[in-house]
Amino acid sequence: MTNKKTLLIAFPFAGGNSYSYNFLKKLLMNSNIHLETLEYPGRGKKAADALVTQMDNLIVDLLLQYQTIVNEIKPNKIVVYGHSIGSVIGLAFIHAINKRDDLQSPEVAIFSGHGGPQQTIKKIRSSLTAPQLTAYFESIGSLSKEIIADTELMDYILPILRNDLVLYENYTSHYTEKLTIPLAIINGMQDNILQKDIDSWQFETTAQIEFYQMEGHHFFMSQFPAAFSELIIDLFTNTTAEAFSGIYERLA
């Protein structure tokens, strides 16, 4: 792989895999940002592995992937990005890295589609019936009518979606120490996330935090990929994260 100045490590949403952000990877090709999306067991490149429902087991797997990628890329700077459940996993991942002395630590984190994990009250959905679960994921834009109509594909996808909800619901986001890196929090204007939950990200770090909102629903980044990639590139324009751009409307 070609060395890039900044490595963007991405964490997929529920049901996602290492291909979930390929649309963004293409848009970042001409920047100095190299995007790598980690793979959760049981899908994508790790389809032969068993699904995991415990965060600790997932993090062990992700740390091994991360170490391999960092050793290969040798980046000057690392940024973490997670969307929806990927935000919760990304936050847990950074806390796990902070307990290690042998791994290069991220300098910035970008989270979207979720409130601050330690303050947001979870809604339990893993026990929904198959039709209810399908309807929920369709309502937030995870499943299209074309995918839902494909019975064979749904038989493959639905257990993965349910598993990821179980993993999310099993995990309690409680940390004795806050992060010490800057955060950028991005959400869609039409997403159904309470403002108080978005604001609660301020409790996750002692460093600078910026809030942005963009047009779109829960998956605003795939609705408006060009605008989203523009914001990502803008956040990376400076050599440090101290100068987050304010070209997008801030929530706080």
Q: Do the beta carbons of residue 169 and residue 126 sit within 8 Å?
A: yes
Roughly what angle, to the nearest 10 degrees, separates helices 151-170 and 85-97? Answer: 50
> What tokens does 139 get?
């309502």
| Residue ranges in the chain modelled with pLDDT below 50 | 1, 239-252
- C-alpha to C-alpha distance for 20 and 71, rounded to whole angstroms: 23
Q: What are phi and psi of 81, to 5 degrees?
A: -130, 130
- C-alpha to C-alpha distance for 174 and 123, rounded to whole angstroms: 17
User: How buried is 245 (Cβ within 10 angstroms: 0-12 exposed, 13-18 middle, 19+ buried)?
Assistant: middle
Q: Do the beta carbons of residue 133 and residue 125 sit within 8 Å?
A: yes
Roughly what angle, to the nearest 10 degrees, separates helices 130-139 and 151-170? Answer: 80
For 106, 109, 192, 247, the CA distances from 208, given in Å and listed in that order, are: 15, 11, 25, 17
Give the strand order in the sheet containing 183-188.
Answer: 33-37, 6-11, 77-83, 108-112, 183-188, 209-214
Return the CATH class of domain 6-119+176-243.
Answer: alpha beta
How many C-beta neighbours within 10 Å does residue 180 have? 10
> What tokens does 205 get?
């770090």
> What tokens does 43 get?
């899908």
Q: Do the beta carbons of residue 91 and residue 82 sit within 8 Å?
A: yes
The pLDDT of residue 4 is: 62
- C-alpha to C-alpha distance for 106 and 127, rounded to whole angstroms: 35
